Amino acid sequence: MEKIIDENKQGDTLILEPQEGNNRKLFIESYGCAMNFSDSEIVASILATAGFNTTQNLEDADLVLVNTCSIRDKAEQTVRKRLEKYNAVKRDINPKMKVGVLGCMAERLKTKFLEEEKIVDLVVGPDAYKDLPNLLAEVDEGRDAINVILSKEETYGDISPVRLNSNGVTAFVSITRGCDNMCTFCVVPFTRGRERSRDPQSIIEEINNLWNRGFKEITLLGQNVDSYLWYGGGLKKDFEKASDFEKATAVTFSNLLELCAKTQPKMRIRFSTSNPQDLTLDVVETMAKYHNICNHIHLPVQSGSNRILKEMNRLHTREEYMALIDNIRRIIPNCAISQDMIVGFPTETEADFQDTVSLMDYVKYNFGYMFTYSERPGTMAQRKMVDDVPEEVKKRRLQDIVDLQREHSEIRTKEHLNTIVEVLVEKESKKSNTQWSGRTPQNIVAVFPKEHYKVGDFVNVKVTDCTSATLIGDAVGYSENN
């Protein structure tokens, strides 16, 4: 199920139920990570209170917002191409249309955006979305508007996000914002600021609300969820300065996970992403204790070479990572584990690359996301190292591990042949309108004939066949979770 994210396709456009009385039209499009999709839902909620309904038709829009990604150069190029498209629509069809850039590129480029891209009227960073109504008032008066201030506090905990383009079954719930890890290749700490956690009370309220509206699965989101720490608000790095009472009553990620699992015992709970240096065994033990916490950990390692891990400022060794994998498998024998890998990081030799290959052979991940290194302005790697691995070498190494991952995924899906798995039905299968598609707790896609089952049902499925990414089977009844 390895997937190289296709950064060339149009981003998903988002649509929400029309609000009566709103007469301006918002076209909002998102690129990049799950956090961006979740943020766009927050933005649409904020703008619903400022007179906007969403539209899926770019040509009708009064306001076009693009939520952008800076993680690799290609992601930024995709957004530049979209801006050209908006420009053409504005020039030829809809001259009154206003255009705003949100997200990581807004934060990275700031006022440069207004200079470089004449089409852009509005630039808003990831912590400034509540200021959108004020900024739009400035744009309405004919001025360019910008707010890229990063915050110590903002978690949007008090905003109840509308669910855009939702299947009504699965939803993202963000729990931390920002990242303090400073991996040397990564632009996120610069674009999303320092790490802060959201009030657990507001997280629980959001989950209860989702359950009451029929949702059956949530994914707790953060750049580094295991580092979640609530002590009454503020930055993670300021925890040392908290009072004794705040320290004694602090909520860690495993506490939060337990709280979510207990509060909604039938809601499936997932989380993403875990950085190996911050994933503690109490989290794995909490997963083992609660049936409704899914047995899957996305555990990006980036490289199997100790020298490269050090250059990347990943604060663990290959051996520590392998010990963590062993511990996860000891506590939860059937836990699915997935990866992110970067090939062609500066100075990566063939021997370093072979360490990545041998680590993959050791873990045999269920699936993964693999990338060639893309130098990002302002990061430590860009400032201190030369991007010296030739493009064709990067591409060859990428292809090698994509092929290897396909073999491993196939081994992993085959383990399910002739077993019964629980599938939460999400939608019609893309390949057949007589089949449902859903996922198992291990996050593997499964398809089976629809019969009388419905979207949102938990169904036991007997697996009769599989591909490297998908289980194929027949329903044998509702699961006890239903």
Residues that bind ligand SAH (CB under 6 A): 71-72, 185-186, 188, 223-224, 273, 300, 302, 340, 342, 371, 373-374, 376
Does position 223 interact with ligand F3S (CB under 6 A)? The reply is yes
* Strand pairing category for 196-197 and 24-30: unpaired
72 is in the binding site of which of ligand F3S, ligand SAH, none (Cβ under 5 to 8 A by kind)?
ligand SAH
344 is in the binding site of which of ligand F3S, ligand SAH, none (Cβ under 5 to 8 A by kind)?
none
Does position 227 interact with ligand F3S (CB under 6 A)? The reply is no
With CB under 6 A, what is the number of residues at the site for ligand F3S? Answer: 10
Residues sharing a CB contact under 8 Å with residue 137, sequence separation 6 or more, in sequence order: none
Residues sharing a CB contact under 8 Å with residue 187, sequence separation 6 or more, in sequence order: 70, 71, 104, 108, 376, 377, 378, 379
DSSP assignments along 421-443, one per residue:
EEEEEEEE-SS-TTEEEEE-TT-
Which sign does the torsion angle of CA 409, 410, 413, 416 carry?
negative
Does position 188 interact with ligand F3S (CB under 6 A)? The reply is yes
User: What is the DSSP-derived secondary structure letter of residue 379?
Assistant: S
Does position 191 interact with ligand F3S (CB under 6 A)? The reply is no
Closer residue to ligand F3S, CB minimum distance, 181 or 292: 181
286 is in the binding site of which of ligand F3S, ligand SAH, none (Cβ under 5 to 8 A by kind)?
none
User: Which of 186, 301, 471, 475 touches ligand F3S (CB under 6 A)?
Assistant: 186
Does position 183 interact with ligand F3S (CB under 6 A)? The reply is yes
342 is in the binding site of which of ligand F3S, ligand SAH, none (Cβ under 5 to 8 A by kind)?
ligand SAH
Q: Which one, of 90, 14, 2, lies nearest residue 55 by Cα?
A: 14
189 is in the binding site of which of ligand F3S, ligand SAH, none (Cβ under 5 to 8 A by kind)?
ligand F3S
Does position 179 interact with ligand F3S (CB under 6 A)? The reply is yes
Structure tokens at 339: 């990866």
Closer residue to ligand SAH, CB minimum distance, 89 or 279: 279
- Kindly state the helix (H) or strand (E) to which residue 480 belongs, with its residue range: none
371 is in the binding site of which of ligand F3S, ligand SAH, none (Cβ under 5 to 8 A by kind)?
ligand SAH
Fill in the per-residue mask, 274 to 293: x = in contact with ligand F3S (CB under 6 A), - = not in contact: -x------------------
- Least distance to ligand SAH, CB of residue 368, Å: 9
Residues sharing a CB contact under 8 Å with residue 58, sequence separation 6 or more, in sequence order: 27, 64, 85, 86, 89
User: What is the DSSP-derived secondary structure letter of residue 128?
Assistant: -
Q: How far is CA 276 from CA 135, 181, 320, in A?
A: 40, 12, 9
Cβ–Cβ under 8 Å, residues 196 and 176 = yes
Contact residues: ligand F3S, CB under 6 A: 179, 181-183, 186, 188-189, 223-224, 275
